[in-house]
Chains A and B, each alone.
Chain A
């Protein structure tokens, strides 16, 4: 298991643990994710949404597809009663992660916390599906 953590400028800190240390998966693999949130202080969490999705990134229009989505509003499964949670999903055959020049396809786990004051906090953690090497820009000979 690998830990991917980040200190945010605002109080919450989300720690996501993937079931593979290198965060590289093949199509149809099972993805298992544990996550933990720290630093909520007294702010009440109203709901948590966890999503597995792909999105495109580049210079133009963006696209995305949600593969897995679950919203938790049961207090017993929300922080602080449940500071850690996990979920599992089987990845689809496509699209595969792609690191192109004009467009890229990225997969990520998104954990979104909704607070009582009507605000939310989103944490995204990327992983790779497939084994397509990054595109290279041909370099003209000198």
Chain B
């Protein structure tokens, strides 16, 4: 996770937008529950059983973020991990090989389970069960798999995420957060894009030098697992 600077200014003198994808993509922010409290992925990891388990929730409710955190936790615990996004290049082959070659205890994330053909879904679940591996699938609706977590959002979640992002220099207020959340029906991803636009509009209507003088300090990240999500299950 990136260290926060307040306020962050780019080298060209323009304040950096804290709502850009660079800061908000899965893996950059922790998963939060509906009250805005961080979810402990270790507790979810302990609940995994061989076969398939689902992370349910509508668009922009933190499913991919939670899946990312869970796989990071699993990798940190020494378990083989892999992640396949349905629809990405070569996803069928990667999904089949990740699960077909999975070792016991492996955790394989499938992002976008509802787009999977039913026959392939059944094969994957059966194979994972046989190999004592776990598929963790993100899905928008109910499946036959047991539910690991139902993701929910609230204005408190969005406010907590904004507080974790690099400083916005007072350009975004509580009313903006509430409005963006309501406007996008609880879709936090879209609400963050909305805040991105608001920040840009306000940012560029201010005299930059007067608002935030000086050059940008460097960004420094916290330490993180070195080999994140690169260990595919071996034969």
Chain A residues in the interface with B (C-beta under 8 A): 2, 4-6, 8-10, 12-14, 16, 22-24, 55, 57-62, 97, 99, 101, 104, 106-107, 114-115, 118-128, 134-137, 139
Contact = CB atoms under 8 A, between A and B. Distances in A.
B215 interface: yes
Interface in B63-88: none
B161 to A, nearest CB: 16
B190 to A, nearest CB: 10
A137 B5 contact: no
Given A8-B220, A134-B204, A137-B200, A106 B226 contact: no
- Top-7 shortest CB links A-B: A125-B218, A119-B223, A8-B220, A126-B11, A6-B217, A124-B219, A122-B221
19 contacts: A4-B218, A6-B5, A6-B218, A8-B3, A8-B222, A9-B222, A16-B218, A55-B22, A59-B21, A59-B196, A61-B21, A99-B10, A101-B204, A104-B10, A114-B226, A122-B221, A124-B218, A126-B218, A128-B11
A121 B217 contact: no
B217 A4 contact: yes
Contacts of B3: 6, 8-9
Contacts of B25: 62
A105 B21 CA distance: 13
Interface in B196-235: 196-197, 200-201, 204-205, 208, 215-227
A119 to B, nearest CB: 4
Contacts of B14: 99, 134
B226 A99 contact: no
Contacts of A134: 12-14, 204, 208
Interface of B: 3, 5, 10-14, 16-17, 20-22, 25, 193, 196-197, 200-201, 204-205, 208, 215-227
Contacts of A114: 226
Contacts of B11: 23-24, 97, 106-107, 126-128
Contact of A57 (B12, B20, B220): B20
A106 B14 CA distance: 12
Contacts of B217: 4-6
Nearest to B19: A59
Contacts of B5: 6
Given A101-B200, A136-B204, A123 B223 contact: no
B144 to A, nearest CB: 33
A6 B220 contact: yes
A135 B25 CA distance: 24
B12 A128 contact: yes
Contact of B20 (A13, A59, A119): A59
A52 to B, nearest CB: 14
Nearest to A133: B12
Nearest to A4: B218
Contacts of A124: 218-220
Contacts of B10: 99, 104, 106, 126
B218 A123 contact: yes
A115 to B, nearest CB: 7
Nearest to B223: A119
A90 B232 CA distance: 38
